[in-house]
């Protein structure tokens, strides 16, 4: 048996850990920024939330393009088929949420009449007209989806720890430097 199964390629590993760091920063901002209401302005921590979110959107698009154009190392054959299917489903869900969550936040920001930019360098077009009812609804969906992301990512991290400390295989090593 191969004692050191192939790792994910360096760019895939870099993007994986970069997204983790950006998410920690983004949740830190989301939980400390002022409550967003009708009269809020996109300033201070709220502006940071929009810019870091835009950066996450950019990185996740790059990551998905990279994933679709580069081979993934085969998972160890010791892992039962149902667990491999479950991990594929979880990974797909994580990618899908990471793509949809920032777009929904962007839609909500548009309906508030806020311009979304990447730290003031590039400004994104508005997805909805100011005052759009649908764009407004997206605010609640955005917060709900962020909670779902935390739950799915929590399951993912629990699975990684289970492989590392209980099964004691080299799954985690596939994603480490
Ligand atoms: C993966 C990236 C993102 C995560 C994890 C995230 C997370 C969150 C969370 C947890 C909240 C709720 C804060 C609270 O408790 O009140 C929130 C609110 C909000 N976020 Fe994000 N966000 C992300 C990206 C974005 C982006 C890209 C934008 C806009 C460009 C955005 C705009 C907003 C707005 C406008 C709200 C207030 C929603 C409302 O209460 O109506 N977010 N975000
Ligand atoms: C301490 C935190 C984390 C650890 C230890 C960890 C560990 C891992 C490991 C070991 C893999 C490879 C799985 C395999 O070989 O099949 C992986 C893949 C993956 N991780 Fe994480 N992860 C963490 C956080 C996150 C977070 C926060 C996200 C996103 C929200 C995430 C998204 C993904 C995705 C989408 C894959 C699939 C890669 C692919 O096949 O394209 N991870 N992670």
pLDDT at site 2: 43
Q: How many CA atoms lie within 13 A of 129 on its CB side?
A: 3
Q: Alpha-carbon torsion 37, 40, 46, 47, what sign?
A: positive
Q: What are the structural domain ranges in the chain?
A: 10-175
Backbone torsions φ then ψ of 26, nearest 5 degrees = -65, -40
> How far, in Å, from the CA of 25 to the mean position of ligand 1?
12
Nearest atom of ligand 2 to the alpha carbon of 87: 16
Mean of the pLDDT values across residues 163-177? 94
Average pLDDT over residues 38-51: 96
What's the pLDDT score for residue 3?
42
Q: Which pLDDT score is estimated for 149?
A: 98
Which ligand lies nearest the alpha carbon of 23?
1
Between CA 109 and CA 130 the distance in angstroms is 9
pLDDT tens digits for 63-116?
999 999 999 998 888 899 999 999 999 999 999 999 999 999 999 999 999 999
The whole-model pTM stands at: 0.95
What average pLDDT does this structure show over 146-174? 96
Ligand 2 touching residue 91 (CB < 6 A): yes
Of 158, 125, 149, give the one whose Cα is nearest residue 54.
125
Question: Is the C-beta atom of 153 inside 6 A of ligand 2?
Answer: yes
């Amino acid at each position: 048996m191969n004692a050191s199964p192939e790792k994910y390629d360096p760019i895939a590993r870099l993007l994986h850990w970069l997204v983790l760091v950006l998410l920690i920063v983004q949740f830190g901002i989301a939980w400390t920024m002022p409550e967003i209401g009708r009269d809020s302005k996109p300033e201070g921590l709220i502006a940071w939330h929009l810019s870091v979110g835009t950066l996450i959107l950019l990185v996740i698009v790059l990551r998905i393009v990279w994933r679709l154009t580069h081979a993934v190392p085969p998972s160890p054959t010791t892992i039962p088929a149902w667990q491999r299917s479950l991990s594929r489903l979880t990974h797909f869900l994580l990618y899908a949420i990471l793509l949809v969550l920032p777009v929904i936040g962007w839609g909500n920001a548009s309906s508030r009449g806020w311009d979304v930019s990447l730290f003031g360098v590039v400004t994104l077009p508005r997805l909805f007209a100011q005052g759009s009812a649908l764009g407004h609804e997206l605010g609640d969906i955005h917060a709900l989806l962020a909670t779902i992301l935390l739950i799915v990512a929590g399951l993912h991290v629990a699975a990684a720890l289970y492989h590392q400390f209980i099964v004691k295989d080299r799954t985690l090593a596939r994603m480490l430097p």
